[in-house]
Amino acid sequence: MDWIEARSILGFFIAFIVFIFAILVWLFFVMAVTTGQRPPPRNVVVAMERYFQRNNEQIHTVVDYFVELGDRYNTNHISTSTMHTMRDGTIFVASEHGHIAIECEVALDAINHLFTSGFNVIAFTNNYIQFQRWSTLNMGWGVLYLFAGDEPYTHPTTNLTLLSSLSEDGWYFYSSE
């Protein structure tokens, strides 16, 4: 093999590596754009504490509203996302009720505030309410309220992998997979 062939093969190899790198970078940005999220900051627990403190009033308003809805509809499965609340003004209340209009203007304002502040899903499931701040296709992070005296629900579908206490009793940073 002469010098010209070696340079040609090396050049092809370098071009191939650059091409693969470009594809990986492109996929990262496509995922960030399609999920509407950026990767979480390095010190996630501290960041979640800041988000919790900045949005404390709205978060507590939503908890009160979800608990009231749960009592009214006799369910512990309530959820909403930016699409349903901000576009339609609705919230999902268990499969037997489906999407209902959010009649409480204070709760609707609080939910919309949280969504414009970066939260993307709010869900009341079993014994906790979670405020998801960041997610990919297979994991999420956020703030979770655990009802007094309860332990996190450990059904296999919840996939809570990390709970770390925040500054207020009953509130946690959570990670799920």
How does pLDDT run across 132-160, given as a tens digit for each residue?
Answer: 888 777 778 888 888 766 665 544 445 67
Single-letter code of the amino acid located at 119? F
116, 151: one domain: yes
pLDDT averaged over the chain?
77
Cα dihedral 100→103→105→110 (10° resolution): -30
7, 92: one domain: no
126, 157: one domain: yes
5, 79: one domain: no
pTM of the model: 0.69
Which domain, by its residues, includes 10?
1-35
73, 149: one domain: yes
Structure tokens at 64: 């009160």
Give the Cα separation of 82 and 69 in Å (integer).
19
92, 158: one domain: yes
72, 17: one domain: no
Instruction: Band the pLDDT of 33: cuts 50, 70, 90.
Output: very low
30, 68: one domain: no
Give residue 39's pLDDT.
47
14, 83: one domain: no
Output phi, psi for 140, to 5 deg. -150, 160
27, 49: one domain: no
pLDDT in tens, 38-83: 445 557 788 888 889 999 999 999 999 888 888 887 776 777 776 6
128, 159: one domain: yes
Give burial (CB, 10 Å; 0-12/13-18/19+) of 167.
Answer: exposed
CB neighbours of 10 closer than 8 A, spacing ≥ 6?
none
Domain count, the chain: 2
pLDDT at 19 over 70: yes
